[in-house]
Amino acid sequence: MLTLPNNVVDNCQPDELADNDVFNLLAGSGKTRCFPKNTVVLNEGDPSNYLCLINSGKLKVYLSDDSGHEIVLDFMGVGEYFGEMALIDNCGRSASVMTIEDSKLTFVTKDAFNACLAKNPQIASMLMLGLIRRLRHATKKIGSLALLDVYGRVANTLLHLAKEQDGQMVVDKLTHQEIANLVGSSREMVTRIMHNLIECGYITLGNNKQIILNEKAKSPF
């Protein structure tokens, strides 16, 4: 079994607070649209002049090839935003984004963003904190893919995604295929690992197919 450090989850609270502040300051500067589940909001390489705020729902950020293979970089939910890099460097989108639940998004154009920035210059430092948080996450993901076996990558991913709910650490419902896309493995391998984590008492499946990290999971896997 792979030994993981107990502090593998990095709770970057100041960065999360910065994200909330950016969201609140920009929320009134755009137009809101609703998207059904499994709708591509933007594609990698697309030109863009807007930033998106997530009012409701859940989305995945991913890369894919011409054969349809994909790797999920992250999931995003209420109160988060994406697309700020394209506003800053004027380059194409670095990844694709798709809804995995019915979602409501607010689109803030580059002109509206610049106007809000002029009135609230502190947004610049808040965006910087958010970008640093994402860079840290990307660095850890690269390290995980390069240095950990599949078991370790699955364990690391569950620890990263877990949020506290009613005194428990819970991961929102994910299919084995979605986990496989996150860790760069096959669904069959992830299924075997998930069954092993359940049998060993590290995780339990909740009523809504949430993944609950048991007390044992606080120790190294």
Question: Comparing 219 with 143, which gets the higher pLDDT?
Answer: 143
pLDDT tens string 76-110:
999 999 988 878 888 889 899 999 999 999 999 99
Q: What pLDDT score does 27 carry?
A: 86
Question: For a pLDDT cut of 90, what percent of the chain falls above it?
Answer: 47
Q: Is 96 helix (H, G, I), strand (E, B) or coil?
A: strand
Q: What pLDDT score does 219 carry?
A: 59
186 pLDDT above the threshold of 90? yes
Question: Comparing 216 with 204, which gets the higher pLDDT?
Answer: 204
Q: What pLDDT score does 218 carry?
A: 62
Alpha carbons within 13 angstroms on the beta-carbon side of residue 32 total 9
* pTM (2 d.p.): 0.73
